[in-house]
């Protein structure tokens, strides 16, 4: 790195430190580094990756001793259009706090942490599945104007850097403004997302699509988006999300 570049890098880091002091932005009670998304060690330790046993279709983790593959009740009751869905991290209070800050408050300082978590858990499995491209779950233009960015697209572009797969943002579009899913029951979530997506301008031409979003709960959003990908010409769809909400997906 040249002397000028080194100086500029140092100025950028000092400027960032003024905005975000090196203290955990979640608990405000421990030191934290930019490389960790300004999340301290104690809070990071409470962010747990998803490990077996989990549902082979939706990735919902379960406690206890379960041998072999199994499919949860929620998946058996839904007509799923994706081959499988996987969340990288369990939806702990700390993880969901970070995701909500990123999504609704544009806490972009979390990007390095989220990129690392995705890369550690998802990259090799995406390659093993032989994915051809990444598609972020789109926002409706109204929601995009409200938030100023699409968190799924940001996650997707970082994942692209680690997988080498292209990001396709014009394959599917959201055609209805939907209610926020967080406070809805399972039935309301399904009804809320029904018909929310449609193929857009780009034909997916038998590509194996990796659909990317921030959180998966019942799978209502990603399932409808996967259906639109298939209508747009995809050969198969799998889903990867940063977090997997915990608890019964029937709620």
The secondary structure of residue 83, as a DSSP letter, is: S
For 106-207, where are the alpha helices, taking DSSP H only?
111-129, 141-147, 151-163, 186-193
Q: Measured in whole angstroms, how far is the alpha carbon of residue 210 from the centre of its chain?
A: 11
CA dist., res. 193 & res. 181, Å (int): 9
CA 244 – CA 219 distance, rounded (Å): 10
> Rounded distance, CA 48 to CA 183, Å?
24
CA distance 176 to 196: 5
Model confidence, pTM = 0.87
- Per residue in 111-168, pLDDT (tens digit) is 999 999 999 999 999 999 999 999 999 999 999 998 889 999 999 999 999 999 999 9
**Average pLDDT of the segment spanning 58-83:** 85
Helix (H, G, I), strand (E, B) or coil at 185: coil
Domains of the chain with bracketed CATH: 1-45 (no CATH), 49-244 (3.40.50.2020)
Residue of 133 and 66 predicted with greater confidence: 133
- Using CA atoms, how far apart are residues 31 and 22, in angstroms rounded to an integer? 6
No. of H helices and E strands in the chain? 9, 7
How far is Cα 244 from Cα 50, in angstroms, rounded to an integer? 8
């Amino acid at each position: 790195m040249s002397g000028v570049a080194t100086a500029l890098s140092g100025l950028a880091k000092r400027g960032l430190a003024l905005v975000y002091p090196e203290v955990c932005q979640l608990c405000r009670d421990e030191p934290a580094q930019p490389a960790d998304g300004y999340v301290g060690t104690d809070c990071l330790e409470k962010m747990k990756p998803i490990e077996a046993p989990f549902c082979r279709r939706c990735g919902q983790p379960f406690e206890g001793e379960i041998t072999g593959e199994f499919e949860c009740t929620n998946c058996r009751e839904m007509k799923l259009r994706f081959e499988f869905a996987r969340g990288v991290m369990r939806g702990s209070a700390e993880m969901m706090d970070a995701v909500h800050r990123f999504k609704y408050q544009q806490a972009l300082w979390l990007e390095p942490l989220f990129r690392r978590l995705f890369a550690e858990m998802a990259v090799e499995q995406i390659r093993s599945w032989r994915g051809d491209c990444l598609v972020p779950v789109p926002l409706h233009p109204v929601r995009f104007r409200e938030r100023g960015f699409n968190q799924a697209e940001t996650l997707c572009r970082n994942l692209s850097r680690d997988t080498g797969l292209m990001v396709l943002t014009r394959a599917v579009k959201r055609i209805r403004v939907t209610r926020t899913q967080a406070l809805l029951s399972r039935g309301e979530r399904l009804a809320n997302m029904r018909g929310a997506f449609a193929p857009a301008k780009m034909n997916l031409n038998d590509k194996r699509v990796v659909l990317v979003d921030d959180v998966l709960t019942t799978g209502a959003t990603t399932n409808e988006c996967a259906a639109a990908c298939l209508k747009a010409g995809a050969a198969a769809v799998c889903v990867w999300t940063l977090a997997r909400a915990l608890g019964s997906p029937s709620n």
